[in-house]
Amino acid sequence: MTAFEFPGPGFTAEQWERINALTISLKPGQGLWISGYFAGIDHGARSLLGDIASPSPSDHSVSVAPRAISSRSLTIIFGGETGNSSGLARTLGEVVRRQGLEPILVDMADYKLRKLKDEQDILIVTSTHGEGDPPLSGMSFFEFVESRKAPRLEGVRYGVLALGDSTYERYCEAGKRLDRRLAELGAVRLQDRVDCDVDYEDQAAGWIAAAVAKLAPAASGPDLQNRAAGPASVSSAAVVEAPTFDKHTPFPAAIIDNLVLTGRGSSKETRHIELSLAGSGLAFEPGDALGVMARNDPALVEMLLDKLSLGADANLSGRGFTTTLDVALAEHLEITVATPRFLDQWAELTGASKLQELRGEHQFQARATFLRSHQVIDIVREFPVPGIDAQTFAAGLRPLQPRLYSIASSPSALPDEAHLTIATVRYDLHGQPRAGVASGHFAERGAPDTTIPVYIQANPHFRLPDGDVPIIMIGAGTGVAPYRAFLQEREAQGAAGKSWLVFGERNFSSDFLYQTEWQGFLKDGVLSRMNVAFSRDSATKTYVQHRLIEHARDVYAWLEEGAHVYVCGDGTHLAPDVHAALVGVVQQQRACGKAAANDYIGGLQRDHRYQIDVY
């Protein structure tokens, strides 16, 4: 958080100095909570005073009777892939509780759809997946709300906080869809929708404060003081008990090993990374992800400094940092992918007609096409801004975001370690080689004993069942990573349940990731069955969905035995293709129509027996 300037209203210099020091020390998550909390208190106090003139700082004589707390029920619903939605929903719930309400907090995946008609106040926090799709955990919720089965919602008040990524054309589309649909069903907006980019903290804090203020202004006097004191003590306890390392304070994990998994002649490079978590206190389960705070390519930092004619030692302040420009560009700011925000800023600075023509919602297609072929360095080169200062340049950049990777190891088998399976992203653009931020970091600068900041991102929607329950694991490429963790966990726990791996890649000879390990699991009975599909080993391309169809009878038999099905990998092609194959398997084996087969698969999803983790 940034520091405020003295003087503040009604504070002495000493008091303001203490507040300023506290403000600078806060983590982003703490700042988000406090801003919402005090905004709610401030609104409650002002609502209670009504038309009474505000007393001076020295006037303590005003006495106001407590106002009744709203008796309307409140449900907070969240859906997302990375944990941001659930984190904001929990923050929202805490702020609401401090105002005397008892909200119900529920994941979209677990929401009982029949309850929708009985709701009174609903606040929804949802992310958007890919090009405008709902989060995978919220598919059933969206399908119901957008269907003809959805009830009329007259008398219901609602608000939507939408999370997204502005580099996608259909930015925050999932939140927009819910906002439109709830209004169509007769619900009334309690709070207008806010669309948040990946650096969502400030906008989300404002939305939370405004929504809470409209829900239930707090009572004054001793009651308000008691509620204010209660949260402070709870918050203090939470700070003591919370893990030391998290997204805002990542752990510097040392790289133990960094190996290329793919063989000679492969058309791609996939790496196996082993990281030490010793001494971190970080705990995870198979299915969870590791958030990696990679650093930008030093060569790219140098190129930007050169093209902008800026000194590396120029001072720069931003959210959560005050440092030199070169450090900020390396560790804190996104300097690879250009965003609509950067495009707008650069259009203003340059006045370039080509950039000006790309602005506005009606130009989203042309803008998206341009941004796919132009990164920050390309725009800076083509449209120079002589004399630009560091702070002005950085104003158009968003914070560097962590990259999430499924953990490919089990804590039961390998305590104090986390393994990753990462495909190196390399490509040419405008005649120059480019690389992914995180995958390039590991490939080019991830030598053993170097460190990289990491944290655990829980994934409650991708969990192993009890050890005696059969599992079918479907994945392609690096999507096989969590299944390595699953089988290590089952081996460590002595689980008796059957397991079936369906794995796909390009070529058998060079791309059979972890081949020796799978064969070992088969030999030891940890893995019951394995089918593979290598798409480039024959004239006819074969993928994992084709293997499912070939073995439809066995797939259906496992499902009828209670098997849990997992899909991990590419969300654009793999997930929909596998889903269609599963529907086809059920349709064939049950001799039923497509609608009935969809209902069967939908039942697996509702029972958490069909879990998907895609990127």
Q: Which amino acid is residue 246, in one-letter code?
A: D
Cβ of 207: how many Cβ atoms within 10 Å? 26
Alpha helices in 151-258 (DSSP H): 173-184, 201-215, 221-241
Which distant-in-sequence residues (6+ apart) come within 8 Å of 306 by Cβ? none
What phi and psi values does residue 452 have, to the nearest 5 degrees? -145, 135
Q: Rounded mean pLDDT of 233-259?
A: 71
484 near 408, Cβ under 8 Å? yes
Give me 610's structure tokens: 């069909």
Say yes or no to pLDDT of 610 above 70: yes
Say yes or no to pLDDT of 101 above 80: yes
Q: Which residues pair with 44 in a beta bridge?
A: none
**Residue 97: closest CA among 40, 42, 43:** 40
Coil, helix or strand at residue 549 = helix
Strands (E), 51-129: 74-79, 104-107, 121-127
Q: Give me the pLDDT at residue 8, please.
A: 44
**Residue 29: closest CA among 84, 69, 78, 99:** 84
Q: Give me the pLDDT at residue 70, please.
A: 58
Say yes or no to pLDDT of 6 above 90: no
* Cis peptide, bond prior to residue 7, ω within 30 of zero: yes
Q: Give me the pLDDT at residue 216, please.
A: 65
| pLDDT above 90 as % of the chain | 74
Say yes or no to pLDDT of 50 above 90: no
Q: How far apart are CA 549 and CA 502, in angstroms?
A: 12
Q: Which residues pair with 169 in a beta bridge?
A: none
- Predicted model pTM: 0.81
Of 59 and 528, the structure prediction assigns the larger pLDDT to 528
Say yes or no to pLDDT of 253 above 90: yes
| pLDDT above 70 as % of the chain | 84
Say yes or no to pLDDT of 16 above 90: no
pLDDT in tens, 291-335: 999 999 999 999 999 999 999 999 999 888 999 999 999 999 999
Q: Which of 39-43, 134-138, 465-469 is modeled with the greatest confidence? A: 465-469
The overall average pLDDT reported for the chain is 86
Of 450 and 55, the structure prediction assigns the larger pLDDT to 450
Which distant-in-sequence residues (6+ apart) come within 8 Å of 402 by Cβ? 247, 250, 291, 292, 293, 294, 455
| Model confidence band, residue 223 (pLDDT cutoffs 50, 70, 90) | very low
Say yes or no to pLDDT of 61 above 90: no
Q: Give me the pLDDT at residue 217, please.
A: 56
Among 22-31, 59-68, 372-381, 563-572, name the one with the lowest average pLDDT. 59-68
Q: Rounded mean pLDDT of 460-479?
A: 96
Beta pairing class for 74-79 and 121-127: parallel
pLDDT in tens, 111-139: 999 999 999 999 999 999 877 789 888 99
**Residue 420: closest CA among 250, 249, 255:** 255
299 near 440, Cβ under 8 Å? no
Q: Give me the pLDDT at residue 142, please.
A: 95
Residue with tokens 């006037």: 59
Q: Which amino acid is residue 407, in one-letter code?
A: I
pLDDT in tens, 535-582: 999 989 999 999 999 999 999 999 999 999 999 999 889 999 999 999
Specify the length of the chain in residues: 615
398 near 199, Cβ under 8 Å? yes
Say yes or no to pLDDT of 48 above 50: no
**Which one-letter DSSP state was computed for residue 296?**
-
What phi and psi values does residue 229 have, to the nearest 5 degrees? -70, -40
Residue with tokens 């969905």: 545
Q: How far apart are CA 535 and CA 485, in angstroms?
A: 25
133 near 97, Cβ under 8 Å? no
Coil, helix or strand at residue 61 = coil
Give me 242's structure tokens: 């919370």
The DSSP H or E segment spanning 452 is strand 451-457
Q: How far apart are CA 521 and CA 518, in angstroms?
A: 5
Q: How far apart are CA 137 and CA 605, in angstroms?
A: 9
Q: Rounded mean pLDDT of 382-396?
A: 95
Coil, helix or strand at residue 363 = helix
pLDDT in tens, 473-501: 999 999 999 999 999 999 999 999 999 99
